[in-house]
Amino acid sequence: RRLRCFVRVLHNKSTSDIKRRISLAKQAFHNKNRFLTNKHLSIGVHKYDEIFVWSVLTYDSETWTMNKKYRSKLEATEMWMWRKTAETRWIDKMRNEQVLEEVPTREKQLMKIIESRKLKLVGHIIQHNDFIIDILKEK
């Protein structure tokens, strides 16, 4: 019973945190909009997306409980950012694949980043096995 309650609390925390992180990442993107969408800068400069925006979006993502709804929200946010970076408008009716061809990475990365962060956390927890035992014993 306690476990169900704990999982429910984690899930509710995740949903509100994901929404908040998406909002903060969009704000960070708008704050650096002139810099991130400048076509005259080299492609390497667009790596700053990862510093300014992706770090805000993926902060604490290893603790999120993901479901299909929030996975699609995160993927939509990623494509929104790539569209803005490539300066394509929604009314241009470009498919996601066409937009990805115009950006430096040429592929979606957000879910891969989140999954790798989760795996690192699991590895860290497994490395400290005594910590898990203490949690299970409720110490």
**Model confidence pLDDT, tens digit, residues 23-64:** 999 988 888 776 666 666 665 655 666 677 888 888 888 888
Contacts of 46 (CB under 8 A, 6+ apart): 36, 85, 103, 104
User: Distance (Å, rounded) from C-alpha 75 to C-alpha 111?
Assistant: 7
- Going by pLDDT thresholds of 50, 70 and 90, the confidence category of residue 1 is very low
**Contact, 57 vs 79, CB < 8 A?**
no
Domain edges within the chain: 2-136
Is-contact 15 74, C-beta < 8 A? no
- The whole-angstrom separation of Cα 113 and Cα 26 is 18
Residues 41 and 25: beta-carbon distance below 8 Å: no
Compute the distance between CA of residue 65 and CA of residue 27 in angstroms, rounded to an integer.
Answer: 23
At 106-127, the pLDDT tens digits run 778 888 888 888 888 878 777 7
- Residue 53, Cβ neighbours under 10 Å: how many? 25
